[in-house]
Amino acid sequence: MKYDFETVIKRYNTGSFKWDEMAAHGVNESQDIIPFSVADMEFVTAPEIVEAIKHELDTSILGYSAPTEKYLAAVCEWFKTRHGWDAKPEWILPSHGVVDAFFMAVRAFTDEGEGVILNTPVYYPMYSAIKNQNRKLIDNPLINTGKRYEIDFEDLERKAADPDTKLLILCSPHNPCGRVWTRDELIKTGEICLKNDIIIVSDEIHCDLIMSGHKHTVFASISKEFADNCVVCTAPSKTFNIAGLQTSNIFIPNPKLREKFLSVLTLSNPHPKCNILGYRAAEAAYKNCASWLDGALKVIEENKNLIVNFMAREFPCVKISELEGTYLLWLDLRGLGLNYKELEHRNHEQAKLFFDEGYVFGSQGEGFERWNLACPTRCIKDALERFKTAYRN
Ligand SMILES: Cc1ncc(COP(=O)(O)O)c(C=O)c1O
């Protein structure tokens, strides 16, 4: 089937975070401008997902619903065929979101005052999960080689050795740096954590968004020891652009860790469950939408190449981290000579470009922008023209 990756649906007044933010800066319906910030896609929903939701509405009642065996089997089958991971349905706990899940994991596996490691810069709610719950942020800054970001294992080793450090939240693939951690990097990380009794929460929400030439490794698939020491957070929300349906699958292979997590989950939600339309959409997506995803990835890669080639030609001072995974390109704009506030202002007010500002991912992100590439290619072409005009001088 030929899917539509070209139509733009303007999401003004729908409550869309990123469209509302753009509208607050004076952009309106009459302009052909889309935002490139928050990580959802500007692609129309796959028809298989729309059909599954319509079918549910036509034939069912929207009552309380647990995940069905068929649903859980479809989730596991996806991980088996796409990632070679033999996961069991009984490992899965429901969560409305991956953010909810890593907040809960912090409560389940650490006490107040204990340390949680992050590889920074990183997806900003991870900082909140630590700080808002009175845990201690243990910063393991990534090393920017200029081409890509790498884990500082010496620093990790040192910080993991503190007996008060109990958890590492791994962003895999990494948002915003675009890394798909190699199996070797994951093994090194996993071994350091095992040695120091640190549990790993592996946020793998971007695991299906992998660029050609790279391969995602599910952390728990590496060994039984690793599986028993981790929580793997997944969701169909980024992969198939259904974040608004709030249906995530949290895999916890170790029954003891699962019980602990469940005890936090059930504190405020005695019968954990997601949303019936989310379940139906996710099942349809995992069963029938692999080729939609492949089509979306092609467009994302083409969009990335357009930007990389444009910057190399027109603004060689702009450095771009290699995009290995996610649809979020990480651009270092410090070479343009503006401070990060001036950059934000110029983007918003002159270029009408709305990215996620790099500084929200941590202080190392000042002067960087995160560009969401999941949109029709013509939107990227238009944006590059606006960029050129705004920065030509
Ligand atoms: C790394 C990462 N984790 C989690 C989320 C959000 O997860 P959810 O919407 O399921 O809470 C995002 C969204 O951008 C993300 O990039």
* 208 burial type by CB count under 10 A (0-12 exposed, 13-18 middle, 19+ buried): buried
pLDDT of residue 323: 98
Max CA distance (Å), the chain: 60
Instruction: Output b/e per residue, 37-55; b: 16+ Cβ within 10 A.
Output: bbbbbbbbbbebbeebbee
Measuring from atom 10 of ligand 1, which residue has the nearest CA? 97
Atom of ligand 1 at shortest range from CA of 243? 9
Asked if the structure places residue 255 within a domain, the reply is yes
Are 144 and 235 within one domain?
yes
Are 174 and 268 within one domain?
yes
Domain count, the chain: 2
What is the 205 CA–ligand 1 centroid distance (Å)? Answer: 6
Are 259 and 308 within one domain?
no
Asked if the structure places residue 368 within a domain, the reply is yes
pLDDT of residue 269: 86
What is the 314 CA–ligand 1 centroid distance (Å)? Answer: 33
Q: Is the pLDDT of residue 1 over 90?
A: no
Please count the other Cβ atoms lying within 10 Å of the Cβ belonging to residue 294.
10
Are 266 and 294 within one domain?
no
Write the pLDDT tens digit of every residue in 195-250: 999 999 999 999 999 999 999 999 999 999 999 999 999 999 999 999 999 999 99
Closest listed residue to residue 160, CA positions, set 118, 200, 193 = 193
Atom of ligand 1 at shortest range from CA of 237? 10
Asked if the structure places residue 9 within a domain, the reply is no
Write the pLDDT tens digit of every residue in 13-55: 999 999 999 999 999 999 999 999 999 999 999 999 999 999 9
Residue type, 257: L
Atom of ligand 1 at shortest range from CA of 96? 10
What is the 41 CA–ligand 1 centroid distance (Å)? Answer: 13
Confidence band of 74 (pLDDT split at 50, 70, 90): very high
Residue ranges of E strands in the chain: 92-95, 115-118, 136-139, 143-144, 149-150, 165-171, 199-203, 230-234, 248-251, 319-320, 328-332, 356-357, 368-372
CA distance 381 to 310: 10
* 8 burial type by CB count under 10 A (0-12 exposed, 13-18 middle, 19+ buried): middle
| Residue 269 vs residues 108, 263, 266: alpha-carbon distances, Å | 15, 10, 5
What is the 174 CA–ligand 1 centroid distance (Å)? Answer: 11
Are 185 and 329 within one domain?
no
Atom of ligand 1 at shortest range from CA of 171? 1
Are 195 and 329 within one domain?
no
Write the pLDDT tens digit of every residue in 78-101: 999 999 999 999 999 999 999 999
Write the pLDDT tens digit of every residue in 124-178: 999 999 999 999 999 999 999 999 999 999 999 999 999 999 999 999 999 999 9
Asked if the structure places residue 57 within a domain, the reply is no
Could you say which of 266, 288, 310 is where a domain stops? 288
What is the 242 CA–ligand 1 centroid distance (Å)? Answer: 12
List the domain range (segments joined by +) for residue 308: 17-47+290-391
Cis peptide upstream of residue 176 (ω within 30 degrees of 0):
yes
Place of tokens 């590059």: 384
Mean pLDDT of 256-285: 95
Atom of ligand 1 at shortest range from CA of 235? 10
Ligand 1 binding pocket, CB closer than 6 Å: 39, 97-99, 123, 171, 175, 203, 205, 235, 237, 243, 248
Q: What is the CA radius of gyration of the chain?
A: 21
Write the pLDDT tens digit of every residue in 230-245: 999 999 999 999 999 9
Mean pLDDT of 349-377: 97
Using DSSP bridges, classify how beta strands 356-357 and 368-372 pair: parallel, antiparallel or unpaired.
Answer: antiparallel
Mean of all residue pLDDT scores within the chain: 97
